[in-house]
Amino acid sequence: MSNDFMGQSENTISEAGCLYIVATPIGNIEDISTRAVNMLKQVDLIAAEDTRHSQRLCQHYAISTPMISLHDHNEEARIQQLATKLDNGQSIALISDAGTPLISDPGFKLVRELRLKGYKVSPIPGPSAIITALSVAGLPTDSFSFFGFLPAKSGSRKQKYQSLANREETLVFYESSHRIMASLEDALTIFGSRQAVIARELTKNYETILSGDLQQLLETLETDHNQTKGEFVLMISGAARAESVNSVDSESLLKELLVELPPNKASKIVAKITGKNKKELYNLALELKAK
C-alpha cells in the first residue's frame, strides 16, 4: 500500500487549530475507528451533544479529554467560544450522541460559520445509521434521498409523504418508537402497497430488519409490540418509473405538429420528447407532409 494512500500518522494532531467532525458508534460501542479514538484522546477539547451520554464512550476507551456540551439550544452561543480556542491553537472534536455529526444532529451552524471564517474543518468518518440501514435493506441505493425525522402530527406527515409520492428514488426517514405505527399508517394511505423496510436498533442487541409492503409491515408491528420499541430508519421504495417517453407514437405526434409547424421544427420537438434520431424524424416528417 502506497504512502499516499496511508496518509500521515495520527499519533500527533496533524494541524493545530482544527475542528474535527468525529463519527462515533450508532449502537455497538466497538464500532469506532482507531483513528477516531486516537483523535478524541489527542484534541484539546471535545464538544458533545450530550456530555453525560458521551462519557460512557470516553470511559470505555480511556479518553480523558475535557468535554463541553454543544446542542440545539446552545450551539450559536458556542461558536465564538470555540473559534477563540481555535485561534489559540487548540484543536476540537465535535461528536453527537451517535453516528456522524450534523446528520439530523447539531453542528451545522458551527461548521458553516467556522468554514466561512476560514477555519479548517476536517472529517473523521465512521458509522451512519442511514448508510448502515440502506446497506441491508435490499432496496435500490443507486439513488436515494434522506428527509430526517418526519413531522409529529399526522396531517403534516401526510403532506410530507404526498409531496414525495412521485419521487422515483428510495425514500429514507428517521422515526421514533412512539410514532412508528402512525407513520406507517399514513404512509400506507399515501403510498399504497409499496415495498418498504424498517431497520430497528441497528448494531444493538435487539437489531431487527423487517421488509415487505407497507401493509405487511404495519400488521407485523401490530401483532408484535416489541417491534415498535427503539430507534428506526424507515425506507420506502420510490415511485415506479413513468412509462418511457420512447413509447410515444412518434408518427402520430409528428402528424399533429405538422398541422401547425414546418417539418424541421416539428422533428426537433419530437426528437427532444422521444430521444429518437432527429434526421430520421425529419425524413419521416417530409414523407408525411408530402402525403
Categorize the per-residue pLDDT at 50 as very low, low, confident or very high, splitting at 50, 70 and 90: very high
Q: What pLDDT sits at residue 248?
A: 56
> Are the C-beta atoms of 160 and 172 separated by less than 8 Å?
no
Q: Please state, rounded to an integer, the average pLDDT across all residues of the chain.
A: 90
Angle subtended at Cα 208 by Cα 205 and Cα 209, rounded to the nearest 5 degrees: 150
Rg (CA), the chain: 26
- Condensed to tens digits (0 to 9), the pLDDT of residues 242-277 reads 544 444 577 888 888 888 898 888 888 888 777 778
Over residues 64-68, mean pLDDT: 98
Whether the predicted pLDDT of 119 surpasses 90: yes
**How much is the pTM?**
0.77
- CA separation for the pair 205, 215 (Å, rounded): 26
pLDDT above 90 as % of the chain: 76
Q: How far is CA 9 from CA 14, 88, 93, in A?
A: 8, 23, 17
